[in-house]
């Protein structure tokens, strides 16, 4: 029944991209082929939990209120770098309604982020680092109690800029120094010097991007409740199983004794991939006081301490022949990962998006006394693609080539790092259809040649991401005697529509109306283990498991139907809620009648995501085309239209896919034009840790968006042939906008975000010259 094999798969875990070995069962469930005629999958289906959300009946983690529940607030360090000399909680403890206060002095030392720090670390490395947690009858009392804790801080010298931090003698964030060695490994292939020597044309430029923050609608938060020695945690998380395993490890209890539930969720974008300190604190205090405890984050805490995307300084150089073929590519970059280890590297697109034999990369992940970086929607690829695709456009101009044509010239069917062929790649079709939709032929042949102060331009950029999915991912399907079904998996729907596509797949395979299918996800006490929801893994990982369970259920029904109809199984099929003879439909038995005959109440099957094929690279590809208007008098950029043409394998649900594209693009508009966390170099404090000072785009800033899916099922990957689309949607947007701005005004803005001030500054320069990061104004 199952064929065991060991295979290598890439997957995106916690805060890093990892290669892992996985032994999985490879079953013989049929794959959807590119020409498959599907009835439900690929159509437009509103989220099955959409009504709940818009009507307010959906209960989020914040809405979980348990009897006797207490409320916690975290006291955070006000300084960028300090050490606790002493901490006095006596006054706070005496306040009416205060139940407990935990600090490094009265709790076990629990290591955090590997062994680089602790749950409560007296060495505080950034503004917002956790000092203590006060728990009280109400949040307001807890807040007052936290403020009443008297801490004697020894203030330490600090550093916020990575360039400064890399210098000899800079204040050390960690004893080992400010470079995260494991995340600062050079890469090279071929002979880059020789390549540049052979190049006819060379372009180079420096680019910079800023720290941005995830800012999901729903902040982080947990409710912890103990039943004896068993812990239940409601958590706003992208990975119920990861949170379970971290809690079990940190609290030294069996994984089976931790139940993590996430029902509804208002976004994560990577900041909710791993277990938060507040979840562990809630569990610890709940055990101490014998009551459930809720700890939720406010917007300031979200901005200071719940993670962010690193900044980058990228120095790129590319050489090509007169024919446009790339000869050599060199990249230097550094970025601040903040106070704790993470990787700021952004060179992956540089290494692999285009055919080039000679590539070298030197990049550094650098600590600073700022908030910790973590994964954010396509880590590294977003800043990296902005810089790479800007310079590729510069090269096209220097060669006198159409930017799209230059990209097609350097197109490759093989992963440039591993040398493995792609299972599928429809990037050229994405170029063609995207160009057509945006009206590429109508762009300014000479950049900046439009008349008037408000100039229009077109630009584009490409994208590569993984998104092929990975085991382990299991699911359970229960079919009821009334023909309704429930599908369970240990995945979670973080707002992307996971539940909906799960129901759609069951509906497709079993011919059940969608209205009769329910989904249980986000509960470690229910569905089997699934990988985290990040890295665009979810749909390609979960969908094959669901399809397998549904196919096995179909086989079960056909088998039972065959016994009832006294026909060979091969002559029968499941269609319209009945097992029917294939040839003429003359003999038929309805599903409820099968249950009646079996005298069963539910039939159960399980499915598992098989391994990815060996010897192949699995990636998503895409191109986005942007039309912008630049007001050369005010420096204001307006993105008028974005065309997103992507190869994402089989499209499961047009509606949620388009939602993902819209979300990725609008987040890309924010990254390109306005979002940045501003740290005051003098005080080391964040100046805009709120939604007023931190400028996110609103619906008023939304361009018209056209989504084109250029792919269909890739049966080499899995039985569904799905690739992820969450991150791909976000990767090329800033690059496409930057190239469109250049096309509009003939001046390149190399620093994100392209605020009006930076645009005006660039326009003031007569020639196209590299610039360092601009001023911190917006």
Residues in touch with a second copy (CB under 8 A): 1, 6, 20-23, 48-52, 55, 57-59, 63, 65-67, 225-230, 241, 245, 248, 254-257, 259, 290, 472, 474, 476, 478, 480-486, 488, 490, 515-518, 520, 523-526, 528-529, 597-602, 604, 606
Q: Find tokens 């562990």 and name the residue.
A: 280
**CB-based contacts of 519, cutoff 8 Å, min separation 6:** 48, 486, 487, 488, 493, 499, 502, 503
| 520 backbone dihedrals φ, ψ, rounded to 5° | -115, 115
Residue number, 187 or 226, with CB nearest to a second copy: 226
CB distance 491 to 543 below 8 Å = no
Residue number, 269 or 595, with CB nearest to a second copy: 595
Residue number, 162 or 610, with CB nearest to a second copy: 610
Alpha carbons 214 and 225: distance in angstroms, whole number: 28
Name the minimum Å distance from CB 228 to a second copy: 4
| 513 backbone dihedrals φ, ψ, rounded to 5° | -65, 145
Residue number, 203 or 512, with CB nearest to a second copy: 512
Residue number, 65 or 777, with CB nearest to a second copy: 65
What is the H or E stretch that residue 386 is in?
A: helix 381-399
Name the minimum Å distance from CB 1 to a second copy: 8
Alpha carbons 642 and 407: distance in angstroms, whole number: 19
Name the minimum Å distance from CB 342 to a second copy: 23
Longest alpha-carbon distance in the chain: 85
Name the minimum Å distance from CB 612 to a second copy: 13
Residue number, 6 or 140, with CB nearest to a second copy: 6
Q: Where are the beta strands (DSSP E) in 168-311?
A: 187-189, 201-209, 221-227, 230-235, 258-261, 293-296
CB distance 207 to 751 below 8 Å = yes
Q: How far from chain centre, in Å, is Cα 689?
A: 22
Residue number, 8 or 582, with CB nearest to a second copy: 8
Residue number, 445 or 599, with CB nearest to a second copy: 599
CB distance 129 to 79 below 8 Å = no
Residue number, 453 or 513, with CB nearest to a second copy: 513
Residue number, 264 or 466, with CB nearest to a second copy: 264
CB distance 322 to 303 below 8 Å = no
Name the minimum Å distance from CB 248 to a second copy: 7
- Category of 289 on φ-ψ map: left (φ > 0), alpha (ψ -120 to 50) or beta: alpha
Residue number, 605 or 624, with CB nearest to a second copy: 605
Q: Are strands 312-320 and 293-296 parallel, antiparallel or unpaired?
A: unpaired
Q: Find tokens 């060695």 and name the residue.
A: 181
Residue number, 228 or 452, with CB nearest to a second copy: 228
Alpha carbons 573 and 147: distance in angstroms, whole number: 68
Residue number, 148 or 517, with CB nearest to a second copy: 517
- Category of 80 on φ-ψ map: left (φ > 0), alpha (ψ -120 to 50) or beta: alpha
Name the minimum Å distance from CB 393 to a second copy: 43
Residue 334 structure tokens: 């550094």
Name the minimum Å distance from CB 422 to a second copy: 24
Name the minimum Å distance from CB 484 to a second copy: 3
Residue number, 65 or 449, with CB nearest to a second copy: 65
Alpha carbons 641 and 258: distance in angstroms, whole number: 47
Using CB atoms within 10 Å of the CB of residue 771, give its burial: 0 to 12 exposed, 13 to 18 middle, 19+ buried.
middle
Name the minimum Å distance from CB 479 to a second copy: 9
Name the minimum Å distance from CB 520 to a second copy: 4
Name the minimum Å distance from CB 717 to a second copy: 19
Name the minimum Å distance from CB 172 to a second copy: 36
Q: Is the dihedral of CA 66, 236, 298, 682 positive or negative?
A: positive
The DSSP code sequence of 140-206 is: HHHHHHHHH-EEEEEE------HHHHTSTTPPPSBTTBSB-GGG---EEES-HHHHHHH-SEEEEEE
- Category of 61 on φ-ψ map: left (φ > 0), alpha (ψ -120 to 50) or beta: alpha
- Bridge partners (DSSP) of residue 136 are 71, 98
Residue number, 472 or 724, with CB nearest to a second copy: 472
Cα angle for residues 601, 605, 607 (degrees, 5° grid): 155
Q: Where are the beta strands (DSSP E) in 194-342?
A: 201-209, 221-227, 230-235, 258-261, 293-296, 312-320, 326-338
Q: Where are the beta strands (DSSP E) in 348-421?
A: 359-367
Name the minimum Å distance from CB 491 to a second copy: 13
Name the minimum Å distance from CB 22 to a second copy: 4
Name the minimum Å distance from CB 26 to a second copy: 14
Q: Find tokens 């999915």 and name the residue.
A: 469
């Amino acid at each position: 029944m199952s064929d065991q094999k060991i295979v290598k798969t890439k997957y995106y875990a916690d805060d890093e991209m990892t290669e892992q070995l996985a032994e999985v069962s490879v079953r013989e469930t049929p794959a959807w082929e590119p020409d498959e005629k599907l009835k439900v999958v690929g159509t437009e289906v509103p989220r099955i939990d959409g009504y709940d959300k818009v009507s307010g009946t959906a209960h989020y983690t914040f809405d979980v209120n348990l009897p006797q529940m207490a409320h916690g607030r975290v006291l955070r360090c006000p300084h960028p770098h300090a050490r606790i000399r002493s901490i006095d909680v006596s006054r706070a403890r005496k306040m009416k309604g205060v139940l407990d206060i935990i600090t490094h002095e009265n709790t076990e030392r629990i290591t955090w982020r590997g062994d680089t720090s602790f749950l409560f670390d007296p060495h505080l490395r950034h503004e917002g680092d956790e000092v203590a947690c006060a728990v009280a009858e109400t949040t307001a009392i807890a807040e007052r109690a936290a403020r009443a804790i008297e801490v004697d801080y020894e203030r330490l010298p600090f550093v916020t800029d990575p360039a400064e931090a890399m210098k000899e003698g800079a204040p050390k964030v960690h004893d080992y120094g400010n470079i995260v060695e494991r995340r600062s490994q050079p890469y090279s292939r071929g002979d880059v010097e020789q390549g540049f020597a052979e190049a006819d044309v060379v372009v180079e430029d420096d680019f910079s991007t800023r720290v941005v923050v995830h800012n999901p609608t729903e902040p982080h938060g947990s409710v912890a409740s103990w039943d004896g020695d068993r812990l239940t945690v409601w958590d706003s998380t992208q990975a119920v199983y990861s949170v379970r395993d971290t809690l079990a490890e940190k609290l030294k209890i069996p994984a089976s004794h931790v139940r993590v539930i996430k029902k509804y969720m208002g976004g994560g974008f990577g900041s909710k991939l791993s277990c938060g300190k507040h979840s562990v604190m809630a569990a610890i205090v709940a055990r101490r006081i014998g009551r459930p405890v809720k700890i939720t984050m406010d917007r300031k805490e979200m901005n200071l301490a719940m993670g962010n995307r690193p900044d980058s300084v990228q120095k790129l150089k590319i050489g090509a022949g007169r024919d446009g073929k790339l000869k050599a590519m060199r990249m230097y970059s550094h970025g601040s990962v903040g106070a704790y280890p993470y990787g700021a590297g952004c060179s992956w697109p540089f290494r692999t998006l285009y055919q080039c034999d000679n590539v070298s990369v030197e990049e550094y992940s650098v600590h600073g006394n700022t908030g910790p970086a973590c994964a954010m929607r396509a880590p590294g690829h977003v800043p990296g693609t902005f810089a790479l695709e800007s310079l590729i456009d510069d090269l096209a101009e220097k060669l006198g080539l159409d930017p799209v044509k230059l990209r097609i010239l350097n197109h490759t069917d093989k992963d440039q790092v591993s040398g493995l062929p792609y299972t599928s790649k429809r990037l050229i079709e994405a170029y063609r259809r995207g160009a057509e939709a945006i009206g590429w032929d109508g762009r300014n042949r000479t950049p900046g040649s439009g008349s008037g102060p408000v100039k229009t331009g077109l630009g584009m950029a490409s994208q590569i991401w993984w998104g092929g999915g990975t085991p382990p991912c299991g699911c359970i399907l229960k079919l009821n005697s009334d023909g309704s079904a429930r599908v369970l998996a240990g995945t979670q729907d973080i707002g992307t529509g996971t539940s909906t596509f799960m129901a759609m797949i069951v509906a497709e395979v079993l011919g059940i109306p969608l209205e009769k299918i329910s989904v249980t996800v986000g509960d470690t006490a229910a569905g089997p283990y699934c990988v985290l929801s990040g890295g665009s893994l979810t749909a390609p990982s979960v969908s094959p498991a669901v399809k397998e369970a549904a196919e096995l259920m179909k086989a079960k029904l056909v088998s039972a139907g065959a016994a009832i109809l006294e026909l060979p199984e091969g002559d029968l099929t499941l269609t319209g809620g009945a097992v029917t003879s294939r040839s003429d439909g003359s003999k038929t038995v309805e599903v409820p009648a099968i249950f009646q005959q079996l005298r069963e109440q539910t039939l159960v099957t399980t499915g598992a995501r098989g391994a990815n094929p060996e010897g192949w690279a699995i990636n998503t590809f895409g191109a986005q085309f942007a039309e912008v208007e630049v007001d050369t008098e005010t420096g204001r950029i307006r993105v008028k239209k974005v065309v997103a043409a992507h190869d994402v394998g089989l499209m499961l649900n047009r509606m949620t896919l388009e939602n993902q594209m819209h979300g990725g693009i609008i987040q890309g508009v924010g990254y390109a034009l306005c979002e940045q966390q501003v740290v005051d170099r003098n005080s080391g404090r964040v100046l805009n840790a709120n939604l007023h000072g931190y400028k996110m785009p609103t619906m008023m800033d939304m361009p018209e968006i056209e989504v084109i899916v250029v792919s269909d099922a890739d049966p080499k990957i899995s039985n569904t042939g799905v690739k992820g689309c969450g991150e791909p949607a976000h990767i090329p947007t800033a690059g496409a906008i930057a190239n469109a701005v250049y096309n509009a005004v003939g001046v390149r803005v190399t620093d994100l975000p392209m605020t009006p001030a930076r645009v005006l500054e660039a326009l003031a320069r007569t020639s196209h010259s590299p610039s360092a990061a601009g001023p911190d104004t917006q």
